Amino acid sequence: MVESLLDTNAAIALLKRNPEILKALKGKRLHFSIIVLGELYFGAFNSARVEDNIRDADILMGRNPIHGCDETTAREFGQIKAQLRKIGRPIPDNDIWIAACAMQHGLQLVTRDGHFQQVSGLETMDW
């Protein structure tokens, strides 16, 4: 079974029951980064349906492993950010943390953000 970490855009699509993401994730064990959870809560608190969106995020996260950040994640973050700077291809810091989490745990990253392709050694899947 393929184990995958969902980027925020994939998590939102899953919450909206997007048929494409549902098909792409069939048979995969899902994981989330605490960074993605923070981004989901940010979106919920800025929405017209605050309580509904918080509840939906809580339910999704309650069913799947959530990975926090530790010293190993921080080391991965530093390596990735340095690598991207050397090739002149910076990406947002939150995305670097998400990539670092995926790499730390040996997980495929499910995303629609093409800039993750710049991260050396990161396995990605576009849905």
Please list, in sequence order, all residues whose beta carbon lies within 8 angstroms of the beta carbon of residue 4, skipping any fewer than 6 positions away: 25, 28, 29, 30, 31, 107, 108, 109, 110, 125
**Is the Cβ–Cβ distance between 39 and 48 less than 8 Å?**
no
At 119 the pLDDT is: 98
Residue pLDDT tens, the chain, 127 long: 889 999 999 999 999 999 999 999 999 999 999 999 999 999 999 999 999 999 999 999 999 999 999 999 999 999 999 999 999 999 999 999 999 999 999 999 999 999 999 999 999 999 8
Q: What is the DSSP letter of 115?
A: G
Output the six-digit token pair for 51. 């309580």
pLDDT of residue 15: 96
> What CATH number was assigned to the domain covering residues 3-125?
3.40.50.1010
Contact 5, 103 (CB under 8 A): no
Each residue's pLDDT tens digit, 83-116:
999 999 999 999 999 999 999 999 999 999 999 9
Q: Give the length of the chain.
A: 127
* Spatial distance between the Cα atoms of 27 and 111, rounded to a whole number of angstroms: 17
Residue bearing tokens 């017209």: 48
Listed by start position, the domains of the chain span 3-125
CA-nearest of 96, 91, 92, 90 to 74 is 96
Q: How far apart are CA 56 and CA 1, in angstroms?
A: 25
